[in-house]
Amino acid sequence: MSVNIQAIRGMHDVLPEQTPLWQYAENCIREVLASYGYSEIRLPVVEKTELFKRSIGEVTDIVEKEMYTFDDRNGDSLTLRPEGTAGCLRACLEHGLLHHQTHRLWYYGPMYRHERPQKGRYRQFIQLGVETYGMSGSAIDAELILLMHRLWKKLGIRGKVRLQLNSLGTIAERIAYREVLVAYFEQHKHCLDEDSLRRLNTNPLRILDSKNPQMHEVIANAPELMAYLGDESIAHFKAITTSLEGLGVAYEINPRLVRGLDYYSKTVFEWVTDELGSQGTVCAGGRYDGLIEQLGGKPNHAVGFAMGMERLLALLETREDIAVAKPVDVYLIRVGNKAEQEGLRFAEMLRDELPSLKLQISIDGGNFKSQFKKADKTGAEFAIIIGDDEVDRGEVGIKFLRDDRPQQTLSHTQAVSFLQQQLQITN
């Protein structure tokens, strides 16, 4: 007996009954991005491994243990993208988009990380990434937050997410803080877990990002980076919080928020929820001015974020009032030799007349009863009935599938107006 092949662990299918909610979310996202003047960029799913090593940093979870890396047939080391920021910047540098220009960009697609799969954490997951280049003012940091704030409202989940903010300052400020932090953790070495002990020498700030509950206390008592920031970093941060306050956007300052990636500077933020257990970060980002030079570009500015779509969808699923469009409005039943061909012709005529009508026709025949059953299953509002008698009379029958109302017999033109009116089709 042969065994059915199954999907790869942590990589999921989105089935037809789930896609309407995804499309609903995707449409809202597109509308909000358009309303701020953002352009879509489409990027490859595979990049040279070196790109991620150089941008994300060698001592990060992603590069240390999560990347899907392989040698292609030429022996080049390639990696399935674990995130989009590096590829987006690579593309913009490669095509000269960063030279005396500003850009507001977004991309959408799968990312790959070899993590332990659990609710809200997968090996293939979809991200919306938003990246802006060339703008130093804090207003762009604030804009990205406002954009997401608008999206939450549009999706009806504003009450389910909270905004957390922190500033990581400049590289020089972080180096000064790093010394203080290392000294503190050295003193409390006995409290550190294995990962953190390793990070103490390589990337001590990342200890603050640890999700191990046993580390909670030692992290909570650690010195705060905010105290080591210079005037400019403080002013930048203050300008953002003042803007948000002026616009009524609530935020919390979280001094432990350092983000998992090395390339952030100044602003970092996360939108978190309490509704998804430990996978509570739905959207995360910040400013990463230094990365452009790190990838070989001229000094420049960059701010962006990424949102995990599966986590967003999990939040949307908790909303019961979202009416997602059904795939079929009308189901066309054909019974009889003449009706088979006439049904096809009539269906094509309807699609010409009412382009937005969602019409499905029956294919494999059967009697009226079995075809009505199929019609019912599609969720359609109406069945159009064409038997040989209807063909002879140049008419069609229309049955209300969801209401107990009498069946109608209409001419072809009457049928078009009837459907147009009933389904409120405007084209």
Contact residues for ligand ATP (CB under 6 A)?
83, 113, 115, 120-122, 125, 127, 260, 279, 281-284, 306, 308, 310-311
Specify the residue, 283 or 359, whose C-beta has the smaller distance to ligand ATP: 283
When the beta carbons of 127 and 170 are compared against ligand ATP, the nearer one is 127
Kindly state the smallest distance separating residue 206's Cβ from ligand ATP, in Å. Answer: 11
Smallest gap, in angstroms, from Cβ of residue 404 to ligand ATP? 46
State whether residue 164 is helix, strand or coil. Answer: strand
| Minimum CB–partner distance for residue 298 and ligand ATP (Å) | 26
Query: Based on CB atoms, which residue is closest to ligand ATP, 204 or 308?
Result: 308
CB nearer to ligand ATP: give 272 or 357. Answer: 272
CB of 54 to ligand ATP, least distance (A): 16
User: Minimum Å distance from CB 407 to ligand ATP?
Assistant: 50
Q: In angstroms, give the least distance from the CB of 363 to ligand ATP.
A: 39
277 CB burial (10 A radius; 0-12, 13-18, 19+): exposed
Q: In what helix (H) or strand (E) does residue 346 lie, and over which residues does it extend?
A: helix 337-353
User: Residue 121: phi, psi to the nearest 5?
Assistant: -140, 115
Min dist CB 61 to ligand ATP, Å, is 7
CA dist list (Å): 19 to 282, 329, 374: 20, 17, 21
Cα 12 to Cα 21: distance, rounded to the nearest angstrom: 16
Nearer to ligand ATP, 83 or 381 (CB): 83
| Cβ-proximal residue to ligand ATP, closest one | 308
Nearer to ligand ATP, 272 or 335 (CB): 272
Mapped onto helix, strand or coil, the DSSP state of residue 10 is coil
Residue 396 burial class via C-beta count within 10 angstroms: exposed 0-12, middle 13-18, buried 19 and up: buried
Which secondary structure element, helix H or strand E, spans residue 409, and what is its range? strand 408-411
* Dihedral, CA of residue 286, residue 290, residue 296 and residue 301, to nearest 10: 60
3-state DSSP call for residue 228? helix
| Shortest reach from residue 211's CB to ligand ATP, in Å | 7
State which residue, 199 or 311, has the beta carbon closest to ligand ATP: 311
* Cα distance from N-terminal residue to C-terminal residue, the chain: 54
CB of 44 to ligand ATP, least distance (A): 18
Overall size of the chain counted in residues: 427
Q: Can you state the percent helix, strand and coil of the chain, rounding each to 5?
A: 45, 20, 35
Helix boundaries (H) for 5-137: 19-35, 49-56, 61, 85-94
Nearer to ligand ATP, 111 or 415 (CB): 111
If the CB atoms of residues 262 and 342 are measured against ligand ATP, the closer one turns out to be 262
d(CA 319, CA 310): 15
List all residues 6 or more positions away from 311 whose beta carbon is below 8 Å from its beta carbon.
120, 273, 276, 279, 281, 282
